[in-house]
Amino acid sequence: MPAPAPFIVGVPRSGTTLLRMQLDAHPQLAIPPETSFGTVAAKATQLDGPQAMLDSLREHVAWRDLCLDDAEVLGLLSRIRPWSVRSGMRAIYALLALREGKARWGDKTPGHLLCMSTLAEVLPEARFIHIIRDGRAVAASVRGLPFAPGDGSIEAIADDWCMQIVEGRRVGATRPNYREVRYEHLVTAPEAALRDLCAYIQLDFHPAMLRAHELAPRRLDQLPERTNTPSHNKAERLARHANLLRPPNASLATRWREVLAPDEVARFEGQAGDLLEELGYAAASDYPEPRRLRTSSGRASACASR
């Protein structure tokens, strides 16, 4: 059995890329960009050879982000005896790790939250790490983006956040290889959070993980231009990850209070208040009343009372 492999999952904009960079900064562990390999695992019994598996991988736009040569991958898969999708996936992950000069590998694909059972059947070494972030912060981050759920409204974002977390926790409760971590813990107490996760995946903690922001520019720059998806071009994708170029900032945990309007907060809590409470997130009414300042443009902005 290969070493435990961390699979980072969660609702998009919950901090999955932050955690990817923190784990990837470890000298022994490589976490590539999103793979969407869960869809391949779901039809493993139908992929009867290397070419079928490669064809399935190439169906997803995420495949291009891995910057792998199709011929090289096909050659790698063709050398597997006896053939299995399990061995094929392991070989590709190992290749991605070797490219970074590392021996161990993992995965960061938020959508794998909804196919953990399938992935675990194909890769029993997978150790799922479900990162959970205050849904109001998720709403503040994802609204207006091309991949915002549904019609992009606060209500649609709240419904999607609830659905994914409830389903992920339901499946996770049935598995021994599932762990939750809070985004807020990663930005307020990163060393404690990362030490706990390292123990979970049987990896010695390394201080380089606390300097992930220093290594992030090189990793992010590896993302190719997506010429076939204009709304996801490289410049826009890098801009969405600007905070990764700086050390973890504890203020990001509650920045939603400055970004969302009071009525937006109320609408989100109206849809997802029960889950927020279950997860231990305080209602907006429990925070100090924000004071409203006027910008030079005359628009109101909020900053927390001190």
What does the radius of gyration of the chain's CA atoms come to, in whole angstroms? 20
**How does the average pLDDT of the chain come out, rounded?**
90
| Residue 159 burial (CB count, 10 A) | 15
- Asked whether residue 228 carries a pLDDT value surpassing 90, the answer given is no
Q: Please report the pLDDT score of residue 295 as a whole number.
A: 32
User: pLDDT tens across 246-283, in order?
Assistant: 999 999 999 999 999 999 999 999 999 999 999 999 99
Q: pLDDT tier at 289 (50, 70, 90 boundaries)?
A: low
Q: Which residue has the higher pLDDT, 224 or 137?
A: 137
Q: Please report the pLDDT score of residue 288 as a whole number.
A: 75
Task: Say which residues have a Cβ less than 8 Å from residue 180's Cβ, sequence separation at least 6.
Answer: 129, 130, 131, 132, 169, 172
Residue 4, preceding bond cis, omega within 30 degrees? no
Q: Please report the pLDDT score of residue 290 as a whole number.
A: 55
Task: Say which residues have a Cβ less than 8 Å from residue 90's Cβ, sequence separation at least 6.
Answer: 2, 123
C-beta separation of 57 from 43 below 8 A: no
Residue 52 CB-half CA count within 13 A: 12
C-beta separation of 286 from 136 below 8 A: no
- Asked whether residue 230 carries a pLDDT value surpassing 80, the answer given is no
Q: To the nearest whole percent, how much of the chain has pLDDT over 90?
A: 78
CATH architecture of 5-251: 3-Layer(aba) Sandwich (3.40)
C-beta separation of 219 from 208 below 8 A: no
CA distance 306 to 192: 27
Tell me the residue type at 269: E
Q: What is the dihedral of CA 84, 85, 90, 91, to 10 degrees?
A: 70
C-beta separation of 122 from 46 below 8 A: no
Q: pLDDT tier at 234 (50, 70, 90 boundaries)?
A: low
User: Scanning the structure block, which residue is given the tokens 């208040």?
Assistant: 273
C-beta separation of 152 from 143 below 8 A: yes
CA distance 197 to 205: 9
Exposure of 304 by Cβ count < 10 A (0-12 exposed, 13-18 middle, 19+ buried)? middle
Task: Say which residues have a Cβ less than 8 Å from residue 259's Cβ, sequence separation at least 6.
Answer: 140
Q: Please report the pLDDT score of residue 225 as a whole number.
A: 65
| Residue 162 burial (CB count, 10 A) | 17
User: pLDDT tens across 4-40, in order?
Assistant: 999 999 999 999 999 999 999 999 999 999 999 999 9
Length in residues, the chain: 306
Q: pLDDT tier at 232 (50, 70, 90 boundaries)?
A: low
Residue ranges per structural domain of the chain: 5-251
CA distance 180 to 33: 21
User: pLDDT tens across 63-78, in order?
Assistant: 999 999 999 999 999 9
- Asked whether residue 296 carries a pLDDT value surpassing 60, the answer given is no
CA distance 175 to 2: 19
CA distance 64 to 227: 11
CA distance 291 to 136: 19
